[in-house]
């Protein structure tokens, strides 16, 4: 088979057209006169949203997700339902349509972006970067005038594309969560494996679909802390109050566990079982109405990680749990967040898009694109956007908050970045000029100022090392 070769010239080669790659490219072309080539192994932009389960919904307000130039959704407040009063949260179809529009209307329509779909990045050879189409086999040699950008460094793992982390014996009924809504042979029982957002989504969906709680077994190797969704909203008073509550809880605590319990008492953190102190702290948001539903599941198994699923039971190390016939085991156990080594975002070989402030990957990626466009020195770029960690445990979460506060202070001290950030809907700490002198905003900001010094110091102590 003959494979054709063609040549392209571009300023930036961005590998990955998921949420972070799109946010980076959007901010970059908005603030610099450059050409960008996007490469993705999928056929469309949007990354893992192309593989997401049908009933998935953002766990945060739509306004916090997407690209800086175009707000996802209309910023509407939900008027009814269990989340009345909170901002809308987009579902899969809306997110896919949003990224499709950004790609074709804004990016390709500008003439400044080229998209190579269903393609793999092969590396650099002789000064040219090589990409191959998985469909045609065509090889593309790309002359990159400025930067290679890795927007896959923190790419999440999801059940649809990640095999279960356990064995499956002949006759066992195991499906990824993506296939849950397609089941036609009604199971006698559902066994949900996992403790994160995907597992909670699956259980909530089953319960709202009429499945009785006693038909659900929940296997979770550890319990999660989750953020009360009402405390994470595009509102300056809500955002400042969350920061103040966090700093105050940290300053008053002797350990990360005590801090989380204080945050729970303040209505910020949620846990499913009030008798178990969670050890997992990836902290997606959760509605209190979802918490009430999750607490109806009494059959919770905490035997550690599964070794193998058989036709009539689940084997752990040192324990076996029997299953009713016709049970369906639902794989929700992909790790989600990834934890590669923290390295400077701007390296000598490439830009590795990562987080700087605590959480909110789309804002972090847009910030990286803005700083790339407006600064000339990599040392200065890395100073303004120091790399941050992603949380897994309460100690990790403490480190993320400490590093994130330091990063926000660094980039927030730059007048142009501050103006951009306060006009960017992706920014959870956004305060528009007209809001700054409102009494409620001033009062919330004063609380942050009161508790931030001691809170940051204690968060750094919890993290186990000094963060300057």
Task: Give pLDDT, residue 1.
Answer: 54
Q: Using the 3D structure, point to which of 308, 331, 354 is the last residue of a domain.
A: 331
Question: Could you give the number of structural domains in the chain?
Answer: 2
> For the chain, what's the residue count?
468
Same domain assignment for residues 81 and 60: yes
- % pLDDT > 70, the chain: 99
Task: Give pLDDT, residue 199.
Answer: 97
In a domain, 459, yes or no: no
Segment 168-188, tens digit of pLDDT: 999 999 999 999 999 989 999
Same domain assignment for residues 86 and 138: yes
In a domain, 354, yes or no: yes
Predicted confidence band of residue 335 (pLDDT cuts 50, 70, 90): confident
Same domain assignment for residues 135 and 16: yes
In a domain, 94, yes or no: yes
Distance from C-alpha of 278 to C-alpha of 444, rounded to nearest angstrom: 29
Region 73-83: mean pLDDT is 92
Region 352-376: mean pLDDT is 97
Same domain assignment for residues 47 and 138: yes
Three-class secondary structure of residue 110 per DSSP? helix
Predicted confidence band of residue 337 (pLDDT cuts 50, 70, 90): confident
Segment 298-325, tens digit of pLDDT: 999 999 999 999 999 999 999 999 999 9
In a domain, 22, yes or no: yes
Same domain assignment for residues 64 and 129: yes
**What is the residue range of 54's domain?**
5-156+338-393
Region 346-355: mean pLDDT is 97
CB 165 within 8 A of CB 332: no
Predicted confidence band of residue 57 (pLDDT cuts 50, 70, 90): very high
Same domain assignment for residues 278 and 311: yes
Two tokens at 100? Answer: 């499709």
Taking CA atoms, 48 is separated from 40, 45, 51, 157, 339, in Å, by 11, 9, 5, 8, 17
Same domain assignment for residues 115 and 25: yes
Residue 468 has pLDDT above 80, yes or no: no
Residue closest to 195 by CA, chosen among 154, 240, 225: 225
CB neighbours (10 Å) of residue 238?
15
- % pLDDT > 90, the chain: 95
CB 399 within 8 A of CB 413: no
List, in order, residues 6 or more apart from 18 with CB less than 8 Å away: 40, 45, 46, 47, 48, 49, 151, 152, 155
Predicted confidence band of residue 334 (pLDDT cuts 50, 70, 90): confident
Same domain assignment for residues 373 and 348: yes
Region 232-261: mean pLDDT is 97
Same domain assignment for residues 206 and 314: yes
Task: Give pLDDT, residue 435.
Answer: 95
Region 6-32: mean pLDDT is 98
Segment 406-458, tens digit of pLDDT: 999 999 999 999 999 999 999 999 999 999 999 999 999 999 999 999 999 99
Q: Using the 3D structure, point to which of 393, 408, 425 is the last residue of a domain.
A: 393
Same domain assignment for residues 130 and 220: no
Same domain assignment for residues 99 and 122: yes
3-state SS of the chain is CCCCEEEEEEEEEEECCCHHHHHHHHHHHHHCCCCEEEECCCCCCCHHHHCCCCCCECCCCHHHCEECCEECCCCCECCCCCCCCCECCCEHHHHHHHHHHHHHHHHHHHCCEEEECCEEEEEEECCEEEEEECCCCCEEEEEEEEEEEECCCCCCECHHHCCCCCEECCCCCEEEHHHHHHCCCCCCEEEEECCCHHHHHHHHHHHHCCCCHHHEEEECCCCEEEEEHHHCCCCHHHHHHHHHHHHHHHHCCCCHHHHHHHHHHCCCEEECCCCCCCCECCCCEECHHHHHHHCCCCCEECCCCEEEECCCEEEECCEEEECCCCEEEEECCCCECCCCCCCCCECCCCEECCCCCCCCHHHHHHHHHHHHHHCCCHHHHHHHCCCCCCCCCHHHHHHHHHHHHHHHHHHHCCHHHHHHHCCCCCCCCCCCHHHCCCHHHHHHHHHHHHHHHHHHHHHHHHHCCCCC
In a domain, 36, yes or no: yes
Residue 269 has pLDDT above 90, yes or no: yes
Same domain assignment for residues 198 and 59: no
Task: Give pLDDT, residue 231.
Answer: 97
Domain containing residue 50: CATH number: 3.50.50.60
In a domain, 248, yes or no: no
Mean per-residue pLDDT of the chain? 96
Q: Using the 3D structure, point to which of 312, 331, 350 is the last residue of a domain.
A: 331
Residue 395 has pLDDT above 80, yes or no: yes
In a domain, 112, yes or no: yes
In a domain, 231, yes or no: no
**Single pTM value for the model:** 0.96
Task: Give pLDDT, residue 466.
Answer: 43
């Amino acid at each position: 088979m003959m494979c054709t070769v063609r040549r392209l010239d571009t300023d930036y080669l961005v590998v990955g057209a998921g949420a972070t790659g799109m946010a980076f490219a959007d901010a970059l072309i908005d603030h610099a006169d450059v050409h960008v080539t996007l490469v993705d192994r999928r056929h469309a932009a949007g990354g893992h949203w192309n593989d997401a389960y049908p009933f998935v919904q953002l766990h945060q307000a739509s306004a916090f997700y997407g690209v800086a130039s175009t707000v996802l959704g209309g910023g509407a407040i939900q008027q009814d339902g269990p989340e009345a009063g909170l901002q809308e949260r987009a579902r899969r179809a809306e997110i896919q349509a949003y990224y499709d529009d950004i790609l074709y209307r804004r990016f390709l329509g500008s003439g400044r972006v080229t998209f190579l779909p269903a393609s793999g990045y092969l590396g650099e050879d002789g000064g040219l970067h090589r990409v191959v189409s998985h469909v045609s086999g065509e090889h593309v040699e790309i002359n990159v005038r400025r930067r290679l950008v890795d927007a896959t460094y923190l790419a999440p793992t999801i059940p649809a594309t990640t095999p279960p982390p356990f064995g499956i014996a002949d006759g066992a009924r195991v499906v990824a969560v993506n296939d849950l809504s397609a089941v036609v042979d009604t199971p006698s029982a559902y066994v949900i494996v996992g403790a994160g957002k995907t597992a909670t989504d699956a259980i909530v969906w089953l319960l709202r679909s009429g499945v009785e709680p006693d038909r659900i077994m929940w296997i979770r190797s550890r319990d999660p802390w989750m953020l009360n969704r009402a405390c994470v909203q595009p509102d300056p008073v809500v955002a400042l109050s969350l920061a103040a509550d966090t700093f105050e809880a940290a300053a008053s605590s002797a350990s990360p566990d005590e801090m989380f319990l204080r945050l729970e008492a303040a209505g910020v953190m949620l846990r499913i079982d009030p008798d178990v102190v969670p050890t997992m702290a990836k902290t997606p948001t959760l509605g209190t109405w979802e918490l009430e539903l999750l607490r109806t599941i009494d059959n919770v198994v905490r035997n550690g990680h599964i070794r193998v699923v058989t036709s009539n039971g689940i084997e752990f190390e040192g324990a076996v749990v029997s299953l009713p016939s016709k049970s369906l085991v639902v794989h929700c156990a992909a790790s989600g967040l990834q934890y590669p080594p923290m390295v400077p975002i701007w390296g000598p070989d490439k830009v590795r898009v990562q987080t700087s402030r605590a959480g909110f990957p789309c804002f972090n990626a847009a910030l990286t694109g803005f700083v790339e466009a407006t600064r000339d020195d990599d040392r200065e770029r890395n100073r303004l956007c120091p790399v941050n960690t992603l949380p897994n445990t309460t100690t990790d979460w403490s480190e993320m908050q400490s590093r994130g506060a330091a990063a926000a202070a660094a980039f927030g001290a730059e007048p142009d970045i501050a103006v951009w950030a306060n006009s960017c809907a992706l920014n959870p700490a956004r305060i528009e000029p007209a809001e700054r002198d409102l009494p409620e905003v001033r009062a919330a900001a004063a609380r942050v100022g009161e508790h931030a010094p001691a809170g940051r110091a204690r968060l750094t102590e919890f993290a186990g090392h000094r963060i300057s």
